[in-house]
Amino acid sequence: MTAVPRVSSSPMTAESPSSSARIAASGGGSRAPVGIFDSGLGGLSVLRAVRAQLPGEALIYVADSLYAPYGERDDDFIADRTLAIGQWLASQGAKALVVACNTATAQSIALVREKLAIPLVGVEPGIKPAALQSKTRVAGVLATQVTLRSARFQGLLERYAADCRFLCQPGHGLVQAVERCDVGSAELRALLRSYLQPMLDAGADTLVLGCTHYPFLDAAIRDIVGDRLMLIDTSVAIARQLERVLDQHGLHAAPESAGAALPRFYSTGDGTHQQQLAATLLQIDAAVDQVVIPSRRTAAPDSQAA
């Protein structure tokens, strides 16, 4: 991939007019794009579901790849980046925001909802459907360490686990594998087997994919577990929730808008792997623009400091 253009941007200030206000004033709400954000490339699985469910919607996708994975960051850093990127997408005219990252949702969505004037849709691990569908009453969960320790996740377990035993496994190394477009190497399969075999040995019949990166590992997981584990991927449910939210706010694009332009892709990294993954797994051949989105914790745009 050739060098991508650099787009410099600063977050909106609290005094800036909200995106929704500007959209309402112009009467172009339904034609405005939906913003989708992830710490890296995993949210492309959500984008795939949104395109299938809502083909008339224009989409903007931002990967914060310069600072991925969020699962190894502290809570304040995650909240800081999530808010900054949400503000940037609002400044680009987004009419709604999908936080397509379990870690960012778990740690930040309440804060971001308070700060942004546009509707938000978050993601969360499929604990409820797993508890409803497991026959053996044992289910596995693969998620980042930050997601597993979050109050939001623990609340899901308290609410829905009941008589179902959940085996929670941090997926160390899996996000990094997807970020480098490794979805099937021998090393990756060995890592997955080390996580999945104890679940099988314990009698699990269901596996919650608790990170939006993990659906891209579906084939590798299937090669290991066969039909012994039913996989729970919530991306379709997220797309349906987005549709409900857009309808509720009168922002749903007209069906005749289907077949519009390809999604616009941005990355705080160089975008090479994002373009490769979109082309390979989503059959979308589109450029990825590099964007600088400063935040309180990353005042120097190229800083890697946490």
Q: Which of 101, 164, 168, 181 is catalytic?
A: 101
Q: Based on the number of CB atoms within 10 Å of its own CB, is 257 exposed (0-12), middle (13-18) or buried (19 or more)?
A: middle
Q: Which of 150, 147, 82 is nearest to 116 (CA)?
A: 82
Q: Which of 164, 168, 181, 211 is an active site residue?
A: 211
Is 168 designated active site?
Answer: no
Alpha carbon distance 271, 64 (integer Å): 10
**Which tokens is 240 given?**
């349906």
What is the CB neighbour count within 10 angstroms for residue 238? Answer: 25
Residue 301 carries which DSSP code? T
Question: Residue 105 burial by CB count (10 A; 0-12/13-18/19+): exposed, middle or buried?
Answer: buried
By C-alpha distance, which of 244, 22, 35, 11 is closest to 115? 11
Q: Tokens 């309402």 map to which residue?
A: 24
Please return the burial class of 248, using the count of CB atoms within 10 Å of its CB with bins 0-12, 13-18 and 19+. Answer: exposed
Alpha-helical (H) ranges within 92-185 are 102-115, 127-133, 145-149, 151-160, 174-179
Which run of H or of E encompasses 275? helix 272-281
211 catalytically annotated:
yes
Tokens found for residue 295: 């935040």
DSSP state of 105: H
Contact in structure between 130 and 208 (CB atoms under 8 Å): yes
Amino acid at 207: L
| Bridge partner list, 209 | 142
Catalytic residue IDs? 101, 211
